[in-house]
Structure formats: C-alpha cells, structure tokens
A and B are shown apart, each in its own frame.
Chain A
Amino acid sequence: MTKEYKTITEISGPLVFLEKTEPVGYGELVLINLPDGTTKRGQVLDTSADLVAVQVFEGTGGLNEESGVVFTGETIKLPVSKDMLGRILSGSGEPLDGGPRIIPEDRVDVNGASMNPYSRMPPEDFIQTGISTIDGTNTLVRGQKLPIFSGSGLPHNEIALQIARQAKVPGSTEEFAVVFAAMGITSEEAQYFMEDFEKTGALERAVVFLNLADDPAVERLITPRMALTAAEYLAYEHDMHVLVILTDITNYCEALRQMGAAREEVPGRRGYPGYMYTDLASLYERAGVIKGRKGSVTQFSILTMPGDDITHPIPDLSGYITEGQIVVSRELHRKGIYPPINVLPSLSRLMNSGIGAGKTRDDHKAVSDQMYAAYAEGRDLRGLVAIVGKEALSERDQRILEFADLFEDRFVRQGRDEDRTIEDTLNVSWSILAELPEALLTRVDNKYIQKYHPAHKGK
C-alpha cells in the first residue's frame, strides 16, 4: 500500500479530491507529500470507485496537483505507552518537548469504540475538589463528565487548575493522572497551564497535547480524540484514575463548523453541523468506569459560552450530553468573588450517587437542597428589592435576602489555594443556614437539624 497517487483534481479549503485510485477505505489515514519535501496528514471522508475526498489536518497550504497522495490502509492510530506520562505532544501526537518518540506498547484507533452500556459501572466515588460550590452543591464523582461553562475573560483556567491540584478521593492515596488537551487556545494560556503543572510537579503524572491558536483548525478535530485515547489506555490498561481536561470545546466546535462549511454541508442551527450532537457525544461519552476494571476516566472540560449565552448551540448540545455543568458567572466575578461559580444553573447529575452517609455525610443532600432553595429565592428577592425597597419585604423575606449575601460571601467565596474538606464545606453550610429561622428549613429532616444545627448540636 505504498503507491503514490498524483491524481488530485481539486483542492478546496481543507479538502482534497482525487480520482482513479484503488479502492480506499473510509476514514483511512492519508499521507500527502508536498513538492517541497514536507508531508501532511489527512483522513478519507468520502470514498467511491470514482472519487475520493480527503480532509487534510495540517491545512492545505502549499499543496498543489503535483502533490503525491499515499493511502496507508489503516485508520488514525495513536502509539500509546505508560511512558507518555510527563510528555508534551502536539495536537496530532508528535513530541514537542524535544524528548524521544514514544516507544509504543500498543497502537490504538483514536476514534475509540463505544463502550457497551452493559459494561458500564455507574460512577459513585466522591471526588473532593476542595471547592465548596462543587463538593457541596454540585458534587463530582469518578467517571463523570462535568464541564465548566464559562465566558471569555473569566477565571475558568484558575478553577480548572485548582481542581487538578486538589482533586482526590478521600481515603484513597492514589493521585489522579491528568491528560490535558489544548485546542486552539493561545500559547500564553497554554503556558499558564504548563507552568502550574511544572510548579506543582503535576507534569510527571500528566500527558499534554497542544494544539494552539495558530495550529491548523482541522487538527483540532483529532486532538481531543488523541487525548481521550491516551486517557482510556492509562485508565483501562494501567488501572489509573485519569482526569481529562479538554480546553476549549468552543474552539473544537468552531473547527467542526469550518469543516462542515468546507464540505458544503447543509448547516444546522447557527451554522453548526447538524451532526454536532453526535460528534460531541463521541468525545464526552468517553468517560466512565467499567465493571471489573480498576481505572476510570473523568472529564472536566472547559467551554466558553459565546456571548455568555447558555442556549448557544455549543453549551446547549454539551449540556444535553454531559452529566451536568459548572457555570462560571460574570456577575459574581464582577463582585470580586472567587471562584465565581453560580450554583443555580450549575448541576451535577451524578451527585446523588456520590453523596450521603458512608460517602460524604448523611445530611449532605438535604443541606444542599435547602441552600439552593433559599439562595434561589434570595436572588429573586434582590430583583424585587430593587423595585419596592427593602422595607416592603416581610420579615421572612428579609432573612432570606440576607441569606443570599451570606451564601455568596461565606460558601461560594474561597481562596485560590483554599482546599476545603467536605466536612469544612458542610460546616460552612450549617453556619449560614443557622442564620435562617428554623421554620424555613423545610427541606431538612428534623434529625439532621438536631444533629448538625449549631443551635442544637451537641445538646
């Protein structure tokens, strides 16, 4: 299969069309030899007896009809090995750190096969991130996919790094391995991550894939697949618990849109391809725990919502696939609160399986529900106060209004290096709930009030 074809008939955007080839497999890896001696890589998108369409990862710059095309006869594979840990690779898996090539223990198709739902083990191991708005009210569990929905200029990178530093499963000494994939972020941002990884020693147990803003957009389509392939390998072949951070999903989707336009497809909502849901699912669903295997893949990706709009197709379709979302709020950020996580639109769907007696604490669910209800009402009242003034509020409403402030100030706000245990988080929760009249604690069973309410505790 080393035959080289010089039958390119058309080059259009990232696509190349060729005629008169031997039968070529769908999805096959393609090597394109340019007249200047360089080689680019691509993938077969459409193949028939008469015409083959190839999408070129490194972009079609420099290509012409003279370029030679070689079909490799196999789909795109990533050489994997435990030695990937500590390495920095390009968005298509080539070493960038000056180190040697990875000596593969195996070569794995980057598209991954779908996990049989019957083999999945429902995730339920509580991960303590040390951040109250996550641990207390939007609990993350091992094997979950829980992205950060943020906006440009908000401190999502800090939050992601704080989580990567602090994440642990209480009672387990095992550290997470981190697979970090940059997709179209600036080199400055990438630098920020790398420095933190180096400073904290996290790099030793990390694999980094970098596709930066000035790297070709098409490459972005395989970068996350490479990263997830590495993660699955470490998790399922080497029993590691892997935390995958993909950033920024929005750049990935832009690349997807760009490719769709190049293929002249009928665009879906706001110009994004109609298959974007399926495509994103093929990334996000690569998280989980498998029955009978020790490792796990947890995804904690970053997505910046264009125009802070959660109904934009990128966050919208993501939210429909992931197991919740952590929403970073510009309003809280402006108020100077870190981490500016707004718990109301945030959600962890797997929280219920990760908390409670024996996992976190028996009162966890009730405390969380109660704080949500009171905070939501308090925020509504802020709107009302702006119109009618605080005096027009009933005594009850005033207390709830004050609760909302306390919640932001004591529960949400914490230091960039403040690593709260779940006990700390729940204790902070009770200290602010205690400021509400007890009759308003309708979501908390009396037995927990007796057990944990500062006014009753130990009496």
Chain B
Amino acid sequence: MKGEIYRVAGPVVTIRGIRPKMYDVVHVGHEGLMGEVIRIQGDKATVQVYEDTSGIRPGEPVVNTGMSLSVELGPGLLESIYDGIQRPLRVLQEKMGDFIQRGVTANGLDRERVWEFKPIAKNGDSVKGGDVLGLVQETENIEHKIMVPPTVSGTISEIKSGSFKVDETICVLASGTEISMMQKWPVRKPRPVGKKLMPNRPLITGQRILDGLFPVAKGGTAAIPGPFGSGKTVTQQQLAKWSDTDIVVYIGCGERGNEMADVLNEFPELQDPKTGRPLMERTVLIANTSNMPVAAREASVYTGITIAEYYRDMGYDVSLMADSTSRWAEAMREISSRLEEMPGEEGYPAYLSARLSEFYERAGYVRTLEGKEGSITVIGAVSPPGGDFSEPVTQNTLRIVKVFWALDAKLAQRRHFPSINWLTSYSLYTQGLADWFTENVAPDWVPLRDHAMDLLQQEAELQEIVQLVGSDALPEDQQIVLEIARMIREYFLQQNAFHPVDTYCPFDKQYKLLKAISKYGEMATAALESGIPMKDILSVESKDELAKVKFEEDFQSALDTVMTKMDKEFAQLGGK
C-alpha cells in the first residue's frame, strides 16, 4: 500500500493510505524525513517528525518501516556524541557541514570500524538472554561485553574469534539464529533485568554537599530543580566528571549548544579520578539542543536511558544525567498541543506524570539477566518557570525521586556555590547508607555530619532573631554557633567547580575538613566556658586560615600546619 502526506503543521504530520502500528517509524516526504507514529485515527495517522518540515507538501510519499524507534547497541557507543535519535553528530558534520540539514541518515554505530572479539562462551554452551558471549576492549578501561539479546536463547553451534565489524556474525545458535556484536532495542521499552535490589552503596561524587549531606545511592534517583543560572548544569557536569561510576550517559535535552561543545572540549582532557584515563572514554553524549527539532528532543531521554540500560546489563555502574527534564516535558507539551489533546495542568498532557515515573523507574540497582550486579543512577535537572517549585514538572518529579537537591537563586547571586539549599534539600538514602559511611569513611562520620546539619538548622533560627536585633545582642554561646555554622557554609559547603584543586574533594578530605571545623567548635566552646572573651576566640588567626586549606594542592600538610597553630593559639588564650 502506498502512503501519502495529508497535512503538515510544524513537526506534526498527518498521513493516510497506510495502516501503521503505534510508534512505528515512518519516512515522510521525498526526502524521507524520519518520524514516529503517535496517533491513529480512522484511516489517518499522526506522525511526529524528527526533522524540520519546511517545504514539505501534502501528497508526498510516506513509507512505513514497521519498526519502533530503536537504538543500536554495541561497541563504539563510548566517546560518541549523538543527537536525540542516535545520529552521530560527527558523521552529520562530515555529511553536511557545520549546520544540520535534514534528510540525512546515519547509523548509530560505525559499520566500517573493526573490533577485536574474544569469545568466552564455547560451542555447545546453552545460552539465554543477557549471557556474555565474549569481550571487546571498547576503550582502554572499558571491556564491552557482547551479550545474547534479551529475547534470544539456545545452544551455540558456532562461535568465532578475531576481528569483526559490528554487524558481522560472531555466533550462531543451533536454531540457526545469528548473533552479531550489535543489537537493536526499542527505546520506549525498558530492557529486562533479573531482579531489582535495594540500593546500598553511595555514588561518590567528590562534591562535599552532595556526598556529605545529601548522598545519592548507586541505582538511585535524584532531581536538581532550580531557576536559570543557579547551577544545574555545572552540578550535573561535576557529577559526570567526578562520580565513581563506570559509565556516564549525559543528555543535553533542549539546552545550549555551547554547553555541549564545552563537554566535548573538556572531557577528552580530564582524567577519570578512578582510572586516570580521559573521561571521554567512559562517556556517551546525547545532544539535542534547544534549537534542534522538538520531537527528537522528546526522544532523546529514551535514547539515553536505553544506552544506559545496555551497559548496566553488562554489570556496570552507570550514571545518567538529563539536562533538562523540563525541556523534555515541554517537548511533550508542544506535541500534545499540536495533536489538540485535552491539556492537563499548565497545558502539559495528562500523561506527564506517568511518563516521568516510567522514566525514573528505569533507574535502579539490579541483578542482571546474567546474574551480575549493575546499576543506573538517574539525575534529572528540572527548570521550573520563574524558579517556582510548585509547577507540575517539579512536583511530579519530587513525588518519584528519592533525593532532592534544591538550588537557590539567592545563594547563586552571592556566589555561594554549589547553591544547593541545605535546609530544603533532602536525601532519603541517608539512613540506608549510614552503615556504609561508618565502615568506609570513619566511625564518627555520621554523628559529625548530623551535628553539622544541626548547627545549620540552629543558625537559620538564630538568623531570624539577628534580623530583628543584630548579632551583637545574642548571648555569646549562640554567637559561637553562628560562627561555626558560617565556617561550615563557607569552608565546607562552598566548593568552586572551576578551581583546579577544589573541584574534586575525596571523601577522606571531606571528613578531615569537617572534623577540623568541629574541632574549632569544641575548643571555642570550651574556651568560652572557661571565661575567655568572645572577641579573642573569634580572632584566632588559624580559624580564618582554615578557609583556604581546601584549595591547597598538599591539603594534608596545609591542614596540619593550621591545626597545630590552632592548638597553640587556644593554649595561649589560656583560661582557667
């Protein structure tokens, strides 16, 4: 049957003459623009088109592929940068120059590149979905496991070894099924797992306020909502750079082109703190910037999470950053309104909340089909209009995620970075991870942190009084509380992402820094009790010097110097 275009209205095209299934990928027009069927009504179907539709006319042909929107999974994903529908941007540049023209197809995986395949499975082995057939060294540190596709099983009748292209057969089953290093998977369908497990290890990010106060677990979910310019992107990039994760999938969803260029520029130069290799070697980038087609923006988060699931299936810890999920929600809204669907809250479609939870549900710490452990941690930026968290995307997201990092414009304005509000943010993993911290950081880490949180709470209450009477009117012990809280904020919580040393803070350093502040607190309180004047306690020089130790290349010796001085200074203050 021959299909044709009936109507074109922006990214939404109505077709007739063929009978596609929902979510089938179709090619519309003489240029064969790619699109996806999103509604079927009588003899017509509605298609969201992933490319610009200018100049496309009614009557042009439509061809159905009969396949759902899928990604190609196999060696070569790492170090790539894709658009929302997995077209490699590098290839698009080669084919059409610096500006993206339409109608160009490009495979997600390079068909020419040859990979060295080392088999693990043997002839006669009976295998099922998720089992590892062999290995490919994808980058210096990442071993790519070639797995049996989830829906396939059988007995191996032939397995090869040597150099292959991704679409060449490397294994044949007794049933005749041929398996290559590449699988295709429909993006809107989660890849199956053995079992979901309870997350119990933290994702260590090297960011003090995150690791210290509001940790996320490996396999957990977190949201960073905040007004423009408050630090969503910088925080996400910090996580992508410094997290102790095996694989990073970074989705620039409807955001700035220059930000992606920045990542592309920086990541090959930066070192993975765990392996010392260039960060790019563990990273997959998806860039569907704000000026690229909205339908492809809508698809980009699915493309990203499917790639993440694929590496999780190999038993890796994967982190996925989506910047920004609000732009994804807006893409849904834009398409929905073109379909003249009944709008829900603020014009978003009624299925907004369902889509968001389906997406975050694909995160998790799991037992894979093969029986190994793997995880996907999902961190979504949210961009609420006017910075107002009561809007639908923020609210629906908060109902799902377990960690809430609330960015605060006031803090950003005074250049307190990361401008995460310590009073309104929370992590529901704090309890569950306490044992891990006690064992792996320090036995007194948890009480130390709880005490710091408590001081910050007290400070907030005292500040209200200060606003009325000024700080000099407070009793002295409360002035000390204010001072220690200030130190926690400025010395510990503030962390400059652009400082070569401070950008990444190992857990050990976090602990020592907080411990040092707490030490001053103890000595100050004791000194006050023994009758030493407030003024003297506050003018201890080593206290101010503590502000800068976090920037020192040789942190330990800088800290030792300051703390020795502090002991001396307090000793000199004397007291009874």
Contact = CB atoms under 8 A, between A and B. Distances in A.
Q: Please indicate whether A and B come from the same complex rather than being unrelated chains.
A: yes
Interface of A: 23-28, 45-49, 74-75, 109, 111-123, 143, 236, 265-269, 274-275, 277-278, 281-282, 285-286, 288, 290-291, 293, 311-313, 316-317, 319-321, 323-325, 344-345, 347, 349-350, 352-353, 365, 369, 372-373, 376-377, 384, 387-388, 392-394, 397, 439, 442, 445-446
B7 A46 contact: yes
The listed residue with most A CB atoms (<10 A of its CB), out of B14, B97, B413, B467, is B413
A320 B261 contact: no
Contacts of A377: 414
A117 B387 contact: no
A114 B55 contact: no
Contacts of B53: 26-27
What 7 A-B pairs have minimum CB-CB distances, sorted nearest first? A392-B470, A48-B7, A281-B290, A311-B386, A376-B414, A27-B54, A120-B261
Contact of B469 (A323, A350, A388): A388
Contact of A113 (B99, B227, B256, B383): B99
Given A277-B327, A347-B229, A266 B343 contact: yes
B260 interface: yes
Interface in B89-116: 89-90, 92-93, 97-101
A68 B403 CA distance: 61
B291 A352 contact: no
6 contacts: A116-B99, A268-B333, A268-B346, A353-B262, A365-B498, A439-B541
Contact of B9 (A26, A116, A316, A323): A26
B228 A23 contact: no
A442 B385 contact: no
Q: On chain B, which size bracket covers the interface?
A: 35 or more
B177 interface: no
Interface stretch (B206-214, B270-278, B448-456, B543-551): B543-551
A385 to B, nearest CB: 9
Nearest to B290: A281
B105 to A, nearest CB: 15
B481 interface: no
B468 interface: yes
Given A46-B8, A47-B7, A23 B59 contact: yes
B257 A117 contact: yes
Contacts of A394: 471-472
Interface string B335-363: 00100000100110000000000000000
Contact of B257 (A45, A288, A311, A313): A288
B55 A74 contact: yes
B7 A49 contact: yes
B459 interface: no
Contacts of A288: 257-258
A47 B8 contact: yes
Given A285-B257, A347-B229, 11 more contacts: A26-B55, A28-B54, A48-B58, A118-B90, A236-B98, A277-B327, A316-B385, A369-B415, A373-B414, A392-B472, A439-B541
A118 B469 contact: no
B350 to A, nearest CB: 13
B355 to A, nearest CB: 16
B89 A117 contact: yes
B57 interface: yes
Interface in B473-501: 473, 490, 498
B289 interface: yes
A109 B327 CA distance: 26
B287 interface: yes
B532 to A, nearest CB: 18
The listed residue with most B CB atoms (<10 A of its CB), out of A23, A116, A121, A143, is A116
A45 B414 CA distance: 46
A313 B90 CA distance: 35
A118 B91 CA distance: 10
Contact of A344 (B9, B333, B414, B498): B414
Contacts of A45: 9
Interface string B269-295: 000000000000000000101111010
A288 B257 CA distance: 9
A285 B229 contact: no
B330 interface: yes
B347 A24 contact: no
B337 A392 contact: no
A116 B291 contact: no
A131 B473 CA distance: 42
B265 interface: yes
A445 B545 CA distance: 11
Contacts of B387: 311, 316
Contacts of A114: 99-100, 257, 289, 291-292
A285 B289 contact: yes
Nearest to B13: A26
B400 interface: no
Contacts of B261: 117-118, 120-122
Given A282-B291, A311-B387, A365-B498, A323 B258 contact: yes
Contacts of B414: 344, 372-373, 376-377
B334 interface: yes
A375 to B, nearest CB: 9
A373 B494 CA distance: 12
B484 to A, nearest CB: 16
The listed residue with most B CB atoms (<10 A of its CB), out of A49, A286, A290, is A49
Contacts of A46: 7-9
Contacts of A347: 229, 412
Nearest to B287: A117
A202 to B, nearest CB: 27
A122 B262 contact: yes
Nearest to B417: A369
Given A26-B55, A269-B346, A347-B229, A113 B548 contact: no
Nearest to B293: A114
B537 to A, nearest CB: 14
B347 A274 contact: yes
B383 A320 contact: yes
B6 interface: yes
Contacts of B516: none
B522 interface: no
B413 A344 contact: yes
A323 B257 contact: no
Contacts of B257: 114-115, 117, 120, 285, 288
A220 B58 CA distance: 28
Contact of B228 (A27, A49, A266, A319): A319
Contact of A265 (B291, B337, B413): B337
Contacts of A115: 98-100, 257, 291
A47 B265 contact: no
B253 to A, nearest CB: 12
Given A25-B55, A120-B261, A442 B467 contact: no
A274 B343 CA distance: 11
B9 A24 contact: no
Contacts of B541: 439
A334 B67 CA distance: 64
B388 interface: yes
B216 interface: no
Contacts of A349: 229
Contacts of A317: 385
Nearest to B541: A439
A167 to B, nearest CB: 19
Given A115-B98, A344-B414, A347-B229, A278 B334 contact: yes
B330 A278 contact: yes
B45 to A, nearest CB: 14
Contacts of A286: 291
B56 interface: yes
A116 B93 contact: yes
A290 B98 contact: yes
A376 B470 contact: no
Contact of A442 (B54, B337, B548): B548
The listed residue with most A CB atoms (<10 A of its CB), out of B98, B100, B334, B337, is B98
Contact of B81 (A117, A282, A388, A397): A117
